[in-house]
Amino acid sequence: MGAHEGFLDSVRVAHELARRQKEISVAEFFERNKHILGFGNPTRALVTAVKEAVDNSLDACEDANLLPDIVVEIRKGENERECKVIVEDNGPGILNDQIPLVFGKLLYGSRFHTIKQSRGQQGIGISAVVLYAQLSTGKFTKVLSRIGENEPAHYYEIGIDVNRNEPEIARSEIVYWNKEHGTRIEVDIVGDYRRGRKFVYEYLQGTSIVNPHARITFIEPNGEKHIFDRVSNTMPKSTLEIRKPHPHGIELGTLIKMARQTKAKKLSTFLKTEFTSMGERTSRAVCEIANLDENINPKELKREDFIRILDAFKKTKIMAPPTNCLSPIGETLIKRSLKHETKEISPEFIVATTGPPSVYSGHPFQVEVGIVYGGNLDKDSPAKILRFANKVPLLYQQGDCVSTIAISSIDWRRYGLEQKGGRGIPVGPAIFFIHVASTNVPFTSESKEAIADIPEIKHEIELALKECARKMQRHLTKKERKKKTREKFILITKILPEIARKAASMLNKPVPPLDEVITKIMDVVWIEDSIEYEKIEGDKERYITKSRILVANYRQKPQRFNLYAVIPEDAIIGFVEPKPEKITDRYIKWNLPTIEPISKLELNFELAGLNKGDFENDLYVEGINPDHVIGADKWEGGD
C-alpha cells in the first residue's frame, strides 16, 4: 500500500466502521485505534482535543464566510489527571437537531466524499473527542450553540451510546447566550497539560500563521492570555469541489472500476467525461497511443487494454488538473503572518513564495515556502521548521516529513547558514515555513503527522526553498555591501568635513571644498529608499504606501542610466514622479536625467492595495555598471 493512500484509508476505516458498527461497539473500535486517532497518551490527547475543536470552528467560519474569532481555554480539571478544554467560536452555529449528531455520532457529516482541500482530512472529528472524554473521565461534553439573532441558544450535555454509535443526551435546554451566533464546547478529558502545553501553543501559533484571517485567543490554566491576532480581513478564496480524478496517477483497479460503472458508451466519451482535464483532442490522442478504437464500449475493454490506456495517459500531454480546488495562502499573507508571529524575534528578513500548482498521481497540490532570518533567533541552534498540511500545523514526526527531507537535501552553506557536510538541517538564525496544500495530502501514516516523501512534492519544495534562499542570499550580500558603504557615508558626511574644518581652523585658513575628495572616497552611485504608510482618511484598515528613492552620484563623472522599481502583483500604482518612461503592472521604469557628481535626484511613487509593512523596494538599474551602484541590482527583466 502506497503511503499516499492515507486518505483512502480513512474512507475505508469509515466505511468499515459503518458496516461493522452492529458487530463491535465504537468504544472497542476507539480503543483499538487510539494511536491513529491521536489519543495515544494524555499529552497527545490534549493536543488532539484542541485541534479537532479549533479545526471545526475554522471550517465552520470559512463555510459561513465569517472571520473566525476563536477562544481556546484550558483549565485545571477535577483532579491532577484531568483538564478541561473550552473552545468557543463566532461561527454560524449548528442547527438544533444537528447538534447531537455532530457531537454524539462518530463519523457523522464527514468530508470524505469530496475532492477538495480541507482540514477535515486530518482527524476523525470532534465526536472522537467527545468519546474520548466519556471513556477517560466518564463525563459528557457540554455544547452551547446559537445560529442567529432571532434564534435561541441551545445547551446540551452529550455523550455517545457506544453500542449503537448514537448520541446520548443527558440534558438539553434553551438558555440565554449573549453571543449572536457561534458554538462553545467544554470537554473534560484525561490530559497532560504540563507536557502538552508546548504543543498546544505551537499548534495555535501555527494555525494562526496559516489562517491569517483568524484571531485565536489562548487562555492558560494560570490565566495567562495569548492573542494570535489576525493580519488579514479577507476570507481565503473559497475552494471548489471536484469529483473527477485526473488521468495521471490513476491506478489500474480504479480505472477498471470506473469503466465498469460508467454510463458512457464510447471510450472517448468515457475518457472525456469521467476524468478531469480531458478534452476532445486529448481523449482521442490517448485512444490513438493506446491503439484502441475510440468508439469501443468501455465495458468491453480487457485488462491489457486498461494497461495500454494507463501507459497512454503517461505519454500524452494532459493539462494539469484544475487547481481552484486548492487554496494557497499566498506570498503576501504568509510574509505578513510570519512577521506578526515573529515580532518578538524582530527578524531582519522574511521571504515567502507560492509555488505553481502541480500534480502527483493525479492529485493537485501546491507548495508554499517561507524563510524567517536573523533578529534574535539563535545562531547556534538548528533552524526551526514549521510544517503545515492544508493549513493545519504538523507537530510530530518532523524527521519523516518530506519538508524536512527537502530542507536537508539542500546545501545551505552557500546561502549563509552552517551545515555539516552540506546535508541535514542547517544551523543558524532561520525558521523554515513549509505548507503543502492538496486535495489529498499523502501522509506517511494514519496519524497524519508527516507528509510522505513523494518525488514531485519534494521537487516543488526544493524549488521553492531555493528561490527563497536566493532572495535571502541576495539580501545578505546587499546588506553587507550596504553596511560598508554606509560607513563610508558617515565618513564623507561627518568625519571628512570635520577633518577639513579642524585643519582649516588650526591654520586659520578657509575650509576647502570637498566634493572631489568625496567622489574619490565613495566612487559609487548610492541609491537609498524609504517607505512610509499613510492611512487612507476615514478608512481604518487601508493604507497608501509611499516610497521615496534617493539617487546620489558619488562618482567623479556625471551618470545617466535607467531605474526600475518592481511592484508587487496586488498593488495598484498611483502617483509617480518624476514622469516615468513606462509603467507596467510589474514595474515602473524611469530614464533618469544626467546626474552630476555630488548631485542627488529624488523619485517618489505611491501604491494602493497593500497593508502596512507589506512593501519592500526592489530596485534595478540598466545602462550603468552595477558594480558602481549600491542599493540596486542589474536589470535583467528585459522590457
Q: Where on the chain is the footprint of other proteins (CB under 8 A)?
A: 487-488, 490-491, 494-496, 498-500, 502-507, 509, 512, 514, 516-517, 520-521
Of 536, 505, 553, which is closest to residue 608 (Cα–Cα)?
A: 536
The residues facing 635 across adjacent strands are none
- Residue among 250 and 496 whose Cβ is closer to other proteins: 496
The nearest distance, CB 59 to other proteins, in angstroms, is 58
The nearest distance, CB 368 to other proteins, in angstroms, is 42
The nearest distance, CB 490 to other proteins, in angstroms, is 7
Q: Are 469 and 144 in contact (CB under 8 A)?
A: no
- Residue among 558 and 574 whose Cβ is closer to other proteins: 558
- Residue among 500 and 566 whose Cβ is closer to other proteins: 500
The nearest distance, CB 496 to other proteins, in angstroms, is 6
Which residue type occupies 588?
Answer: I
Long-range residue pairs from 306-311, CB within 8 A, at least 24 positions apart, any chain: 306/252, 306/255, 306/256, 306/259, 307/252, 309/255, 310/250, 310/252, 310/255
The nearest distance, CB 456 to other proteins, in angstroms, is 51
- Residue among 514 and 576 whose Cβ is closer to other proteins: 514
Q: Where are the alpha helices (DSSP H) in 150-227?
A: 193-210
Q: Where are the alpha helices (DSSP H) in 262-401?
A: 267-274, 280-289, 303-315, 331-341
The nearest distance, CB 486 to other proteins, in angstroms, is 10
Which residue type occupies 451?
Answer: I
- Residue among 489 and 620 whose Cβ is closer to other proteins: 489
C-alpha–C-alpha distance, residues 443 and 379, integer Å: 32
- Residue among 138 and 510 whose Cβ is closer to other proteins: 510
The nearest distance, CB 600 to other proteins, in angstroms, is 21
Kindly state the cell numbers that stand for 421. 557536510
Cα distances (Å, whole numbers) of residue 389 to 110, 254, 440, 524: 18, 26, 10, 47
Residue 80 DSSP one-character state: T
- Can the peptide bond before residue 322 be classed as cis, meaning omega within 30 degrees of 0? no
- Residue among 377 and 492 whose Cβ is closer to other proteins: 492
9 phi, psi to nearest 5 deg: -60, -45
Residue 266 DSSP one-character state: S
Give the list of residues 6+ apart from residue 14 with CB closer than 8 angstroms, or none: 107, 110, 112
The nearest distance, CB 493 to other proteins, in angstroms, is 11
Query: Please, what is the Cα angle at 54 between 75 and 18, to 5 degrees?
Result: 110
The nearest distance, CB 596 to other proteins, in angstroms, is 16
Sign of CA dihedral 408, 409, 413, 415: negative
How many other β-carbons are positioned within 10 Å of the β-carbon of residue 607? 25
- Residue among 319 and 504 whose Cβ is closer to other proteins: 504
- Residue among 513 and 637 whose Cβ is closer to other proteins: 513
The nearest distance, CB 631 to other proteins, in angstroms, is 19
The nearest distance, CB 470 to other proteins, in angstroms, is 30
Sign of CA dihedral 35, 38, 39, 41: positive
- Residue among 175 and 495 whose Cβ is closer to other proteins: 495
How many other β-carbons are positioned within 10 Å of the β-carbon of residue 48? 26
C-alpha–C-alpha distance, residues 103 and 152, integer Å: 19
- Residue among 235 and 491 whose Cβ is closer to other proteins: 491
